[in-house]
Amino acid sequence: MGSDRRTELADNLAAVRGRIADAARAAGRAPSELTLVAITKGHPASDVALLAELGVSEVGESRDQEAAPKRADVQGELCWHMVGRLQTNKARSVAHWADVVESVDRLALVHALDAEAQRIERRLAVGVQVSLDGDPDRGGVLERDLPALAEAVVAAGALDLLGLMAVAPLGADPAAAFARLRAIREPFLAAHPEATMLSAGMSADLEAAVSAGATHVRIGTALLGTAFH
Ligand SMILES: *Cc1c(COP(=O)(O)O)cnc(C)c1O
């Protein structure tokens, strides 16, 4: 069973890496510009360990309750990303297990993450999640509120601004959504030239994201199959 799963994950990983490389070349980019973040939500710690053995170095989770114990179960030097909607009262816990919090979309989260990171003397890397459908209820800061939120991250004592993250709206054309993201990113990068992360693209739309300049793709299903919940 363990070795079957290893083979399955190795095959999926090779296929995903192939898609990323093809998408990069089609966009005139070097495959080395792309970082794969394996989204392991809904899959056990044993899968995370197998992916790490297979050379994956970045993993992502979307729920604090699931990720905190999983991280404790996995040895090694993985970089753990939080990519899901984050309640303010979970920020304190997330500051302990996450290395990168990609889904920061409001000031209350900046303050809560920073306060806890300072208290436990850790630095946290932060991505600001941008709304591509203008509906803040679905996560992500509105374009007009992005500059102030980014400034708040920069001003926070224990946070490092890494860049932007977005999810293409359900049912929308991903190419159009990511074109909008690219346009939003332009003035952001002018103000924060070091914050080069652009986390966009999932199993179904990674090609469109790479073509729009993504530096990080977040791949769950294509790597791990359907989650157990
Ligand atoms: C689950 C999830 C992913 C991965 O999606 P797949 O379609 O399974 O590749 C990426 N980003 C976020 C924010 C997610 O919640």
3-state SS assignment for residue 156: coil
| Whether residue 62 has its Cβ less than 6 Å from ligand 1 | yes
**Tokens of residue 73, six digits:** 């179960």
Nearest ligand 1 atom, CA 218: 10
Q: Supply the pLDDT for residue 179.
A: 97
Taking CA atoms, 223 is separated from 7, 53, 87, 178, in Å, by: 12, 14, 27, 22
Q: Supply the pLDDT for residue 227.
A: 81
Cα–Cα dist 12/84, whole Å: 23
CA of 220 to the centre of ligand 1 (A): 5
The closest residue, in CA terms, to atom 12 on ligand 1 is 83
| Whether residue 41 has its Cβ less than 6 Å from ligand 1 | yes
pLDDT tens for the chain, residues 1 to 229: 568 999 999 999 999 999 999 999 999 999 999 999 999 999 999 999 999 999 999 999 999 999 999 999 998 899 999 999 999 999 999 999 999 999 999 999 999 999 999 999 999 999 999 999 988 788 999 999 999 999 999 999 999 999 999 999 998 999 999 999 999 999 999 999 999 999 999 999 999 999 999 999 999 999 999 986 5
Nearest residue to 16 (alpha-carbon basis) of 45, 42, 36: 36
Strand segments, DSSP code E, in the chain are 35-39, 58-61, 79-82, 100-104, 124-129, 159-165, 197-199, 216-219
Find tokens 């990609």 and name the residue. 102
DSSP 192-206: -TT--EEE---TTTH
Residue 145 CB partners (closer than 8 Å, separation 6+): none
pTM to 2 decimal places: 0.97
Residue 38 CB partners (closer than 8 Å, separation 6+): 48, 51, 56, 58, 59, 60, 219, 220, 223, 224
Phi (first) and psi of residue 180, to 5 degrees: -65, -40
Cα–Cα dist 197/209, whole Å: 13
| Whether residue 56 has its Cβ less than 6 Å from ligand 1 | no
